[in-house]
Chain A
């Protein structure tokens, strides 16, 4: 596999409950001077205050793939829209996809793994979830989607910080960390933050996450098996690609329903390039992303999902090391 990321259009998926501040963020992205142009795919036309010929209005059309994967759903409208946008590829630098408030992020993420044309021409840069700091605890209590949107996120924008006390802020951040310890969290008011913190994150490159979160691999004190939680593992010796593929393939096939996201940076035996692996439920994808540079050659993997069995996952990952 070649290092093809450069030619592919970066795609940012923007999720979050109605009223969390997605539209405010989109308006900022479209109106601020940042020297780049983004094609924006939205569901409710007219909410945006900015007139832009690159805004695309769509209906979310989720359908099941007939590929034997019971939970494999994709967004058919996005397949068509990405195909259409490629006809004027030179007019924009990236694509931003807004999902409706109640949407499960899995179908949109899976679209970028499953459709061969979309996969060839785009790369999922990051899933960004906008969260209302004041109302998140209530949302988490009354809906499964709120937890899933946090679980899927690479970047979380903790918005409306002006409406909460420091204690409430600490509590909401604790709740987020319980679900997803690996997302980058930005605290904002009126979704105000540098655009560079949202777009072009290369978020599945775990290296960046590690740089911003030195405690990334710290042990989780709070494990709630039925709730969504996150775990990570690290091994020193290079992996045997065949063993890893066999193990992860089996794991995703059996536990894919519970595994919302899986991400890894892997050191393969006999290859001096980093291998980036990621999966959404059962659908996996991987590619070499350039050489190891100076850093320790360790393989790291992250699981975000329900019913995670720490000892089992650790033993499985460790057994993938080349002997």
Chain B
């Protein structure tokens, strides 16, 4: 399925681009070996377009699918009830643009014990139609119940697009549904748009400094998950109304195979939740050790913020995983983000590029972080952080 044409000029760019060592030069021509996983990295780098991957499209029946659906995630509220998790409003805001472009309806699906109480709020954020599914077993999210309900609603109403939050709930639920329906699912999208009637989903790819646009042209619905804090939330318009459709999907009790024994909510993560913090001071490999991270905590205290970390620093055991910023951690969009000793690989950058002001300190003037920051300082991050903190403490 992968071929190298006569156009190959033997430049060897594909050899260094291959993550799997599957490209070799034989007689000044590139040859693809058995190690190839068809990831496409070589196709992209070839300057003469000599490498191509052929494929057939799925040929599912995609007619009759219409509408953009947003899965509503509910959170426990302190009064014992539930509230709509804010990421839902971000998804509705993103879905609004997609629905308008397609000329289709924006719909919300809300599943819960008392799901109907949330309709006014969902309408205020732009839902034109709301599917309400009340179920006595839906006090808390469980995979089997929610997946059964969603699959039956999707089969019945045939939406063109379904978006889920990339949270523990969304990341548990969406792949189960995608697998059942034999449809595509793109995780952690950083951009969504419409290309020739299809949902164009953008995400970082191949664990690397590269973005991929992904389409699912041959199957419906097209499904994607999006992290909290990635999409911009529109202002709500109270008083907007939506068509409410009550859906009673009966799910047999014997289909609910996982039982919740105990739940424990704990919001005391080191110095507050990083995703809600207006100031985030993050450290990377360049902070070197625990002492370096203590310096960051000092600065965070002065500026009223939280300490975050790059994956490298988390892997070095310098900071908890819960405070990792980036593709495999948390996405933040604070007012101020200070990146200290972080090189700025795209996995990290996608987790913080929504920040209003980014300041970076790195001793390597060529670090990619300097391409995304508003202010960059070439210097030793530990030293700079220590001095700044001292000055702020002394009220200078």
The reply to whether chain A is a binding partner of chain B is: no
